[in-house]
Structure formats: structure tokens, C-alpha cells
Amino acid sequence: MLTAKYFNAAGEPGEAFQLPEELFDGVVNDAVLHQVVKAILANRRQGNASTKTRANVSGGARKPWKQKGTGRARQGTIRAPHWRGGGIVFGPHPRSYHQDVPRKVKALARRSAFNTKAQGEQVTVIERLAFDAPKTREAVGLLGKMGVAGAKRVLVLTDGNNETVFRSFRNLPNVEVLPFAQASAYDVMKARQLVIEASALQSAVPAEEVVNA
């Protein structure tokens, strides 16, 4: 069974926390993980790059000079692709990059991402994130006590939406806060350290059903 470092709400260390087998089963499916992360990134693309063909460029309704007798190559329009300001050949046009992924494949990729972090000792469990009011200083101090303040990217996973926790961490450029159920495989993989509320792990199986890519 995989374990993680455990801290109470004050940031004091405790015994190793046994991660639930429903989510941390130790199996990493690299192929599925790659497929889902690629799909998530593809679905974030806007696909609005656009160029004009010779049919869309204004001007060029008549021949720039007569067909014969000038000594120059014949030309039909100044909006041909080889002219400056002419149309673009095979340029990009608006399109959708969306990729559909089955729900169970997303869930498998998410478990693989969590297992990868747990095996790399990059998971920290905290009893609860309790701030009386949004305080960035307290948030920084808590991360320091847990030993993750120096990580390049920290993902804090809360048990549901917690506005106070979000506002406490939002000014830290290397910290992102998400509800546990909304964290995708990509969100987990791009983080260097995970900080998870213990209560969020108690409902690991329902969270698998809710997450979307």
C-alpha cells in the first residue's frame, strides 16, 4: 500500500498516511496517461488561426499588364500566391481540435497520475486546510512547515470549493488550488508536489466519477 507524509492543520508532522487503494493502487498505465494528457491539451486549443486564400484577398480583378509584348512573364492577377500581399496557399483555417475520451479511460489516467506522484514521494496529506480569513502569510508558513514551499509547482487539492483557501494561495505564483474532484490527470502530472486534504481522499471513488478532461 502506498503511503504519504501526513501533517495536522497546524503543519505538525504525524505518522505516515495510508493512501486509499481505490485511487492509489500502484498501477501506472503510461499509454493511457499520454493519451488523456494529449487530449486535454488538444481540447484547450482555440483552433482560430486563419489565413486568406486568393479568393478572399481584395483587389486583383484585372491583369496587371497585357499578355504579350512586355518582355515580362505573363500574370493574371496581383493577388496570386507568389505576389506580395497575395493569397496564402494551404494556410491554416479555423477548425476544432477536440478529442473525445471515454470516462473510464479518464479515470484510469487520473489514477495513473496519482500513482506516479505517490511513487515519487510527491504527495503530502494534511488533516484540513483551516484559515480563519484569507492570509497569504499563513499559507506560505504552512507550506514551509510541510517542506513543499520551494517546489516549482504545488497543487493544493481541497475537499470541495473553499474560497478562503483559494484566496490565501492565489497570490503565490507557484501554487494552484483546485477541488479534489476537478483535478484532471494533466493537473496532477504538471505539479511537482501535491497537497491533499485528508477528507477529500475519503471520497476517492465518487471523485473518479465526477472528474472531466
Q: Mean pLDDT across the stretch 11-25?
A: 90
Q: Mean pLDDT across the stretch 112-133?
A: 92
Q: Mean pLDDT across the stretch 115-141?
A: 92
Tell me if the pTM is above 0.85.
no
Q: Give the per-residue pLDDT at 209.
A: 47
Q: Give the per-residue pLDDT at 162.
A: 86
Separation of first and last alpha carbons in the chain: 27
- The total number of residues shown for the chain amounts to 213
Q: Are 152 and 174 in contact (CB under 8 A)?
A: yes
Angstrom CA distances, 31 to 38, 106, 138, 183, 192, stand at 11, 12, 40, 19, 21
- Asked whether residue 122 carries a pLDDT value surpassing 50, the answer given is yes
- Asked whether residue 213 carries a pLDDT value surpassing 80, the answer given is no
Euclidean distance between CA atoms 143 and 129, whole angstroms = 11
- ∠154-99-204 over CA atoms, to 5°? 45
- What confidence tens digit (pLDDT) does each residue in 21-31 have? 888 989 999 99
Closest CA to 160 of 203, 200, 193: 200
Closest CA to 22 of 202, 205, 162: 205
Q: Mean pLDDT across the stretch 77-99?
A: 96
Average pLDDT, the chain: 91
Closest CA to 3 of 202, 15, 13: 15
Query: Strand (E) positions, the chain?
Result: 3-7, 17-18, 123-126, 154-158, 175-179, 193-197
Q: Give the per-residue pLDDT at 205.
A: 53
Closest CA to 35 of 94, 104, 96: 104
Q: Mean pLDDT across the stretch 68-87?
A: 95
- Asked whether residue 166 carries a pLDDT value surpassing 60, the answer given is yes
